[in-house]
Chains A and B, each alone.
Chain A
Amino acid sequence: EVHLVESGGGLVQPGGSLRLSCAASGFTFSSYAMSWVRQAPGKGLEWVSTISANGGSTYYADSVKARFTVSRDSSKNTLFLQMNSLRGEDTATYYCAKLLAGSQTHFDYWAQGTLVTVSS
């Protein structure tokens, strides 16, 4: 059974940094692209970033480009999101999600979400 478990969320001041982790199990982690999707309080879903199965390609939403970095450690079956220069508008629940296959496929498994609050 597929499990995605996130950690690393919390309260951070504007301009600060935070690193999210997503531990995966129940599937061959190194064979699948992984993504981060966020949801601001009371708002809709927003795609944030995707990393290819081998980690060689990364993709970012314009809203986070140059501030966030996605990476993965296939030896530990873990996905990461390094978030720098955080702003109030980055406050959201962050979900890691597995892509079924290529870019046009859907997110077939989602983690439970971790809340990031950017506030002084």
Chain B
Amino acid sequence: SYELTQPLSVSVALGQTARITCGGNKIRSKTVHWYQQKAGQAPVVVIYRDVNRPSGIPERFSGSTSEDTATLTITRAQGGDEADYYCQVWDSSTAWVFGGGTKLTVL
């Protein structure tokens, strides 16, 4: 089965850049989506199809992918960015797969 690996937590200073990684075997060959989930709320997509931002998501959010790692980058981090972030792909053997989630703390 296909697995996605995320760090449990990432901390970033206010106004600095946060990078949240998502590791998966040959993840570059897959389509990666990123969701933000704030406490007590449903997830919201912040990046879809690797690099695309839905309307309403700030330009500070961006996505990139290398051979085995996808990265969500948040520039000029704000307190409102504190949330859990999940990567997700579809795999032909495992179907829809989520990473374990990363808690972002803005210091």
A→B interface (CB under 8 Å): 35, 37, 44-47, 50, 59, 61, 95, 100, 103-108, 110-113
The reply to whether A47 and B97 contact each other, CB–CB distance below 8 Å, is yes
A105 to B52, CA, bound (A): 12
How far does the Cβ of A118 sit from chain B's closest Cβ, in whole Å? Answer: 21
Apart from the given pairs A50-B96, A106-B48, A107-B43, 5 other A-B contacts in the complex at a CB distance below 8 Å: A45-B43, A47-B98, A103-B90, A104-B31, A106-B33
A103 to B49, CA, bound (A): 12
Q: Which of B73-107 contact A (CB under 8 A)?
A: 84, 86, 88, 90, 95-101
B→A interface (CB under 8 Å): 30-31, 33, 35, 37, 42-45, 48-49, 54, 84, 86, 88, 90, 95-101
The reply to whether A111 and B42 contact each other, CB–CB distance below 8 Å, is yes
A/B pair count, beta carbons within 8 Å: 56
Within 8 Å CB of B48, what residues of A? Answer: 100, 105-106, 108
Given contacts A45-B35, A45-B86, A104-B31, contact A35 B96 (CB under 8 A): yes
Can you list 22 contacts pairing A with B, beta carbon distance less than 8 Å?
Answer: A35-B96, A44-B86, A44-B98, A44-B100, A44-B101, A46-B98, A47-B97, A50-B95, A95-B43, A100-B48, A103-B96, A104-B30, A104-B31, A105-B48, A106-B33, A107-B33, A107-B35, A107-B43, A108-B45, A110-B44, A111-B42, A112-B42
The 3 closest A-B pairs by CB, nearest first: A47-B96, A106-B33, A110-B42
Q: Would you call the interface of chain B mostly helix, strand, loop, or mixed?
A: strand
A105 to B95, CA, bound (A): 12
The reply to whether B98 and A61 contact each other, CB–CB distance below 8 Å, is no
A103 to B44, CA, bound (A): 18
The reply to whether A45 and B45 contact each other, CB–CB distance below 8 Å, is no
- Give the residue of B30, B90, B101 whose beta carbon is less than 8 angstroms from that of A45: B101
- Kindly report which residue of chain A lies nearest to residue B42, judged by CB atoms: A110
A105 to B88, CA, bound (A): 10
Within 8 Å CB of A50, what residues of B? Answer: 95-96
